[in-house]
C-alpha cells in the first residue's frame, strides 16, 4: 500500500514538473516570435530577447498599467529599433496570433460538437446537445469579437490600411509561416499544461475535451480586454471543466494553480531577465517614470495590443 501511494505521488510530482515546463515553454514563445521577426535587423540574440520579454512580463504583473510601455522602451533601447519598426512588429505578431487562435478555436468548437455525442456523461451530453444548437452563433460571436477587437485596436488611424500594407511588404511569407507555426506550438503548450494539471488533480477526463475547453478559454481570455485575460479565461475554463464533470472545487483549483504557476515562472524568469540585462527591477518609481515617458513618445501608428502569457 505504501509503495502504491509512493508511486502515485511520484507520478503526480512528475506531472507537476511537466506542467511547469509547459508554462516555461509558453513564456518562451513570444520572444522567439520577435527574434524571428527582427533577427535580420538587430544583433540581439534569442536569449537576450528572452530576458527582455520576461522582465517586462514581470513588470506587467507588478505594474499592470506600465508593463506594455516599458516593453516598448526596453525593445527600443536594447535593440536600437525605432518605434515604427516596433509598432510594425506588434501589428504583425498580433494579427498572426489572433488569426491562428481564432482558427484553432473554430475547429475546436466543431470538434466539441461532433465528438460530444460519444460522451457517456448525462451532463456532458446535455451540454453538447445545447451547444450543437448554438454552434453557428458561437462561431459567429467569436469572429465578431475578433473583428471588433481588431477594428477598435488597429484602425483608430486613417492610415491603418497603408500602414498594414507597408508592414506586410517588409515581412517575408516565410516569416509569417514561422510565426504561425510558433503560435501553434504555443497553443500545443497550453493544451499540455491544462491536461497535465487536470490529470494531476485526479480527474479522468478526455484529453480532447480538456484541450478544446482550454483553447476556447484562452481565446476568451484574449478577447476579454483585461490584462492577462483576467475574467474571461477563468470563468470560461471553470464553466467548461464543470460541464465535463470536473468538480467545481477542482476546476477552481486548476485556474488558481495555473495563475499561481504563471506568476511564479514569470517572477523567476523576470529575475533572470533583469540580471542578464542589468535592470534593477525593484526600482518601481524609476521605471514608472520611464513607462510614462515611453507612452508619450509612442508614434501615432502604434495601434496593436500586447499578447497573454
- The CA distance from 302 to 73, in Å, is 13
Mean pLDDT for the chain? 76
Q: Which of 219, 302, 292, 273 is nearest to 27 (CA)?
A: 273
- The CA distance from 93 to 99, in Å, is 10
- The CA distance from 211 to 165, in Å, is 35
pLDDT (mean) for 53-60: 86
The pLDDT value recorded for residue 151 is 57
Encode pLDDT of 62-85 as tens digits.
777 777 788 888 888 888 887 777
Encode pLDDT of 137-159 as tens digits.
555 565 566 656 655 555 554 45
The pLDDT value recorded for residue 10 is 58
Encode pLDDT of 92-150 as tens digits.
888 888 889 888 888 887 777 666 544 545 455 555 555 555 555 555 565 566 656 65
The pLDDT value recorded for residue 7 is 43
Reported as a pLDDT band with limits 50, 70 and 90, residue 38 is confident
pTM of the complete model = 0.78
Hey, what's the cell of 66? 506600465
Q: Are the C-beta atoms of residues 184 and 108 closer than 8 Å to each other?
A: no
Encode pLDDT of 267-293 as tens digits.
999 888 888 888 777 777 777 777 777
Encode pLDDT of 195-239 as tens digits.
999 988 888 888 888 999 999 888 888 876 566 656 678 888 998
Hey, what's the cell of 32? 522567439
Q: Are the C-beta atoms of residues 69 and 294 closer than 8 Å to each other?
A: yes
Distances (CA, A) of 239 to 143, 221, 225, 250: 21, 13, 19, 12
Higher-confidence position of 297 and 32:
32
Rounded to 5, what percent of the chain is helix, strand, coil? 80, 0, 20
Encode pLDDT of 173-183 as tens digits.
778 888 999 99
- The CA distance from 278 to 274, in Å, is 6
**Model confidence at 303: pLDDT above 90:** no
The pLDDT value recorded for residue 4 is 37
End-to-end, the C-alpha distance of the chain in Å comes to: 41
- The CA distance from 204 to 151, in Å, is 41
Reported as a pLDDT band with limits 50, 70 and 90, residue 302 is very low
Q: Are the C-beta atoms of residues 238 and 255 closer than 8 Å to each other?
A: yes
Amino acid at each position: 500500500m505504501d509503495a502504491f501511494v509512493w508511486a502515485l505521488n511520484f507520478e503526480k510530482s512528475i506531472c507537476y514538473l511537466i506542467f511547469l515546463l509547459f508554462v516555461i515553454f509558453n513564456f518562451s514563445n513570444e520572444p522567439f516570435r520577435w527574434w524571428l521577426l527582427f533577427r535580420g535587423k538587430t544583433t540581439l540574440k534569442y536569449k537576450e530577447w528572452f530576458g527582455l520579454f520576461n522582465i517586462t512580463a514581470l513588470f506587467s504583473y507588478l505594474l499592470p498599467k506600465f508593463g506594455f510601455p516599458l516593453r516598448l522602451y526596453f525593445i527600443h533601447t536594447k535593440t536600437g529599433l525605432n518605434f515604427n519598426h516596433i509598432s510594425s512588429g506588434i501589428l504583425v505578431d498580433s494579427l498572426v496570433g489572433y488569426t491562428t487562435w481564432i482558427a484553432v478555436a473554430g475547429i475546436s468548437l466543431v470538434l466539441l460538437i461532433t465528438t460530444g455525442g460519444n460522451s457517456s456523461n448525462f451532463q456532458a451530453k446535455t451540454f453538447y446537445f445545447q451547444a450543437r444548437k448554438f454552434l453557428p452563433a458561437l462561431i459567429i460571436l467569436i469572429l465578431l469579437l475578433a473583428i471588433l477587437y481588431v477594428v477598435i485596436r488597429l484602425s483608430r488611424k486613417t492610415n491603418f490600411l497603408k500602414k498594414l500594407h507597408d508592414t506586410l511588404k517588409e515581412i517575408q511569407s516565410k516569416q509569417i509561416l514561422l510565426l504561425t507555426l510558433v503560435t501553434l506550438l504555443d497553443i500545443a503548450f497550453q493544451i499540455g499544461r491544462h491536461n497535465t494539471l487536470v490529470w494531476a488533480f485526479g480527474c479522468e477526463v478526455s484529453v480532447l475535451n480538456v484541450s478544446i475547453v482550454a483553447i476556447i478559454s484562452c481565446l476568451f481570455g484574449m478577447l476579454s480586454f483585461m490584462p492577462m485575460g483576467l475574467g474571461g479565461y477563468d470563468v470560461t475554463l471553470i464553466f467548461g471543466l464543470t460541464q465535463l464533470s470536473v468538480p467545481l472545487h477542482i476546476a477552481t483549483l486548476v485556474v488558481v494553480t495555473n495563475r499561481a504557476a504563471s506568476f511564479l515562472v514569470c517572477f523567476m524568469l523576470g529575475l533572470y531577465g533583469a540580471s542578464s540585462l542589468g535592470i534593477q527591477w525593484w526600482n518601481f518609481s524609476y521605471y514608472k517614470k520611464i513607462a510614462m515617458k515611453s507612452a508619450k513618445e509612442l508614434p501615432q501608428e502604434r495601434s496593436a495590443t500586447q499578447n497573454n502569457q
